[in-house]
């Protein structure tokens, strides 16, 4: 189903180029810790090459095309993504650990639909903003996270291209494979060289892209801490900036709610994609009169969640994206125990290899936090 290369280079100016420093890093299958491939690690020199390629493509090719012509390329990309949907879904699950039913039924179809949608908008921008001047920005530097790799790529690249901009995109280091497969799709679609460039690497690669003087727009999705760093780096420049950061979203259940439906909503809100969601419902406020009933139903529902191999179509919770993320989750579980909260985890056998975590419910957290505060 998936043909992986032993090694992936950088996609710059329509070509696959080895990184100047000849440096690579491994990408790991989080479900069994097996090695998938080696990925190029871009330095400042590589980033500069990618930005120059994007600038050249913007000034000499892409900005000169009509919206209808740009839309044709986006339609081609969308169709090719659709044709390769099964391969992309398996690749997303192998690299990221999410259940195949989520990759297959949600991530990939939505990514394809996003390109179809913006292909249709490419020649209608003037009508959408009647009476206002419409102009592209230039080169967009984009940085995507590991929780929805291809879908986030689509959210960023599709509108940028539809509006006449060119792109340098840096995917998350733990989930670069679908972005690199997307680069192959761009080649197959005949997208002009330099319109989309994919540079892989760690935080230093993203930082080099953020501070590059010839980038007109930075779009970042990721942690709040990194978002603040990017915001500081862009202060005093002419760069446009879009930040989509993490949060601590709350579910609120009142006594007149349909309890069974509410419980199902809570389960989906926090355990979908292993909880790797910016707006995951990680906090739960329940009216006191129904608290015991809701907690009992939640515990019962947790017992039916299947945690295991993400390529199994029956799996509800797959592998945590990386060892680092699993360690962070385990740290917070330990912290909750130390602060005196009541913890519930269903009895379930986790795979012997890979990065897995039991679905976890903490209760009495307000009381435990109050006790901890009194001790301080």
Active site residues: 244, 278
Is the separation of the CB atoms in 273 and 147 below 8 Å? Answer: yes
CA 305 to chain centroid, in Å, comes to 24
In this structure, what is the dihedral angle of CA atoms 30, 33, 35, 36, given to the nearest 10 degrees?
A: -20
Is the separation of the CB atoms in 293 and 68 below 8 Å? Answer: no
The number of CA neighbours under 13 Å toward the Cβ of 321 is 21
Q: Residue 250 corresponds to which tokens in the numbers above?
A: 């709350």
> What does the DSSP assignment read for 296-307?
HHHHHHHTT--B
Q: CA–CA separation, 39 vs 201, rounded Å?
A: 8
Is the separation of the CB atoms in 116 and 143 below 8 Å? Answer: no
Q: CA–CA separation, 352 vs 266, rounded Å?
A: 28
Q: Residue 341 corresponds to which tokens in the numbers above?
A: 């909260």
β-pair partners for 72: none
């Amino acid at each position: 189903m998936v043909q992986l290369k032993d090694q992936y280079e950088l996609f710059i100016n329509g070509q696959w180029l080895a990184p100047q420093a000849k440096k690579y890093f491994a990408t790991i299958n989080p479900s069994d810790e097996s090695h998938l491939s080696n990925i190029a690690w871009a330095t400042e020199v590589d980033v500069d090459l990618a930005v120059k390629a994007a600038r050249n493509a913007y000034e000499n090719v892409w900005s000169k095309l009509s919206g209808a012509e740009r839309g044709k390329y986006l339609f081609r990309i969308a169709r090719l993504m659709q044709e390769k949907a099964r391969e992309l879904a398996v690749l997303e699950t192998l690299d990221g650990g999410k259940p195949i039913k989520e990759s297959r039924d949600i991530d990939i179809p939505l990514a394809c639909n996003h390109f179809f949608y913006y292909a249709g908008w490419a020649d209608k921008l003037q009508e959408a903003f009647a009476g206002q001047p419409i102009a592209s920005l230039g080169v967009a530097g984009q940085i995507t996270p590991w929780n929805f790799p291809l879908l986030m790529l689509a959210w960023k690249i599709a509108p940028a291209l539809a509006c006449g901009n060119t792109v340098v995109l840096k995917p998350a280091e733990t989930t670069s494979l679908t972005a690199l497969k997307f680069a192959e799709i761009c080649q197959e679609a005949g997208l002009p060289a330099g319109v989309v460039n994919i540079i892989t690497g760690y935080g230093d690669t993203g930082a080099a892209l953020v501070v590059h003087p010839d980038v007109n727009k930075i779009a970042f999705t990721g942690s709040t801490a990194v978002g603040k760093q990017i915001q500081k780096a862009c202060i005093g420049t002419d760069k446009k900036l879009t930040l989509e950061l993490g949060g601590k979203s709350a579910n609120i259940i009142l006594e007149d709610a349909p309890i069974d439906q509410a419980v199902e909503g809570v389960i989906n809100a926090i355990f979908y994609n292993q909880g790797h969601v910016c707006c995951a419902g990680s906090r739960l406020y329940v009216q006191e009169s129904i608290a015991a009933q809701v907690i009992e139903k939640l515990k019962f529902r947790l017992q039916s969640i299947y945690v295991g191999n993400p390529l199994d179509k029956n799996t509800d919770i797959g592998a945590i994206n990386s060892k680092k993320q699993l360690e962070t989750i385990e740290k917070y579980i330990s912290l909750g125990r130390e602060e005196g909260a009541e913890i519930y985890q269903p009895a379930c056998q986790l795979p012997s290899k890979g990065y897995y975590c039991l679905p976890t419910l903490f209760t009495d957290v307000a009381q435990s936090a109050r006790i901890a505060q009194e001790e301080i």
